[in-house]
Amino acid sequence: MNDPVLPGATLGILGSGQLGRMLAQSARRMGYRVHTFSPTADSPTGQIADRETVAAYEDLDAIERFARDVDAVTFEFENISSAAANAAARHGPVRPRGEVLHLCQNRWREKHALTAAGLPTAPYAAVESLEALLAAIARLGTPCILKTAGFGYDGKGQARINTADDAVAAWASIGGGPAILEGVVDFAAELSVVAARGATGERVDFGVIENRHVDHILDVSIADAPLDEAQTTRAREIAATVMEAFDVVGVLCVELFVDRRGELLVNELAPRPHNSGHLTIEACASSQFDQQLRAVCGLPLGDTTRRQPTAMANLLGDLWADGEPDWTAALADPAVNLHLYGKAEPRAGRKMGHLTASAASRDEAVRRVRTARAALVRASNP
């Protein structure tokens, strides 16, 4: 199972969104064939793949047929059942392991595992009923955040509780199912560390990335967060601990808060490439997608050294509200790179693509990528 899967082989990708698309681009460049599996045809990944299987993730017979047709399997988002991952694993390597997927797709399991590994998190309590929620609020205090235990992203499945009087409405808003209550962190910044671990245990990471959100959706990411040396070292140590404790082979992102005292707290894990890591495509010799391919296929990991300061800005469907954005205006700056994900229908809040820009300084990289994105809006709204 540790023999390398060499170029010319077929990589199987469970999931078919933009993360799979960019992984497929790396795989095709390195000479691999790509087979993607998801319930949707003509998907962002399927447009790049050699073969696209359209079936439900719950169809374990289809999963097994898919796995028999490929040489290694990975996934591009975590909302795939561990049963599907285990079915695929009967026919070849699945990396990261299905157990990692199972752990990270549920906030209860994830928080408990982080605590067991000795890693710092916001105070939390698991809740399964309104009565348990009220008791947890009494223990943790307010304000706090109620989150569904599973299947939440970009702020979905969450409700803020400012006083105990908000509990009933918050419980109803998330559907009244298993959830986790977290104390609100008075944070100074949101950060991420995207790391990779190979089949033989070697590790690399892309340093600490600063993330700025708007309406709970990532807006801009900037390489090399302005931390002191001790904080940077600690953030990278946390990522290394997660990779080792959970025996991850592949790419994993650790999302972090730095609070007003300068302490680092783990927010969430993503056992795959991450939106904040898209800037590595232009910023580094080996991107997060190159690293995922190398790790999953048992190849040596690549160089993560950042070439120069780089920033990324997400492109949401809102930009299409008045027609096609003016790509010429955005690309007038030669330092700007455009990535579109092949999604047919732009919707408000939907991630349709991203821009990156590199410059001599972090501030200049941010200015250039934001200016390029603003040019899209100005061009379409004269």
The predicted pLDDT at position 80 comes to 87
Amino acid 344 reads A
More confidently predicted of 53 and 3: 53
Strand intervals (E) in 105-178: 124-127, 144-148, 158-161
**Global confidence as pTM:** 0.94
pLDDT of 326 over the 80 cut: yes
Residues 6+ apart with CB under 8 A from 165: none
Give the side-chain half-sphere CA count within 13 A for 313. 21
Across residues 36-41, what is the average pLDDT?
95
Tell me the C-alpha distance between 246 and 181, whole Å.
23
pLDDT of 237 over the 80 cut: yes
Amino acid 306 reads R
Structure tokens at 6: 């060499």
Closest CA to 40 of 3, 10, 76, 4: 76
Q: What is the pLDDT of residues 93-117, one digit of tens each?
A: 999 999 999 899 889 999 999 999 9
Give burial (CB, 10 Å; 0-12/13-18/19+) of 230. exposed
The predicted pLDDT at position 154 comes to 54
Q: In a 3-state reduction of DSSP, which class is residue 56?
A: coil
pLDDT of 224 over the 80 cut: yes
High-pLDDT (> 70) share of the chain, %: 97
pLDDT of 380 over the 80 cut: no
Structure tokens at 132: 């348990």
The predicted pLDDT at position 379 comes to 43
Contact 298, 345 (CB under 8 A): no
Tell me the C-alpha distance between 204 and 185, whole Å.
29
The predicted pLDDT at position 151 comes to 62
Contact 209, 266 (CB under 8 A): no
The predicted pLDDT at position 82 comes to 84
Confidence bin at 1 (pLDDT 50/70/90): low
More confidently predicted of 308 and 151: 308
Across residues 134-145, what is the average pLDDT?
94
Beta strands 179-183 and 217-222 are: unpaired
Residues 6+ apart with CB under 8 A from 334: none
Domains located in the chain, CATH noted: 10-94 (3.40.50.20), 123-183 (3.30.1490.20), 187-380 (3.30.470.20)
Q: What is the pLDDT of residues 61-104, one digit of tens each?
A: 999 999 999 999 999 988 888 889 999 999 999 999 999 998 99
Closest CA to 199 of 4, 20, 6: 4
Contact 134, 177 (CB under 8 A): no
The predicted pLDDT at position 276 comes to 98
The predicted pLDDT at position 25 comes to 98
Contact 316, 217 (CB under 8 A): yes
Confidence bin at 177 (pLDDT 50/70/90): confident
High-pLDDT (> 90) share of the chain, %: 89
The predicted pLDDT at position 15 comes to 95
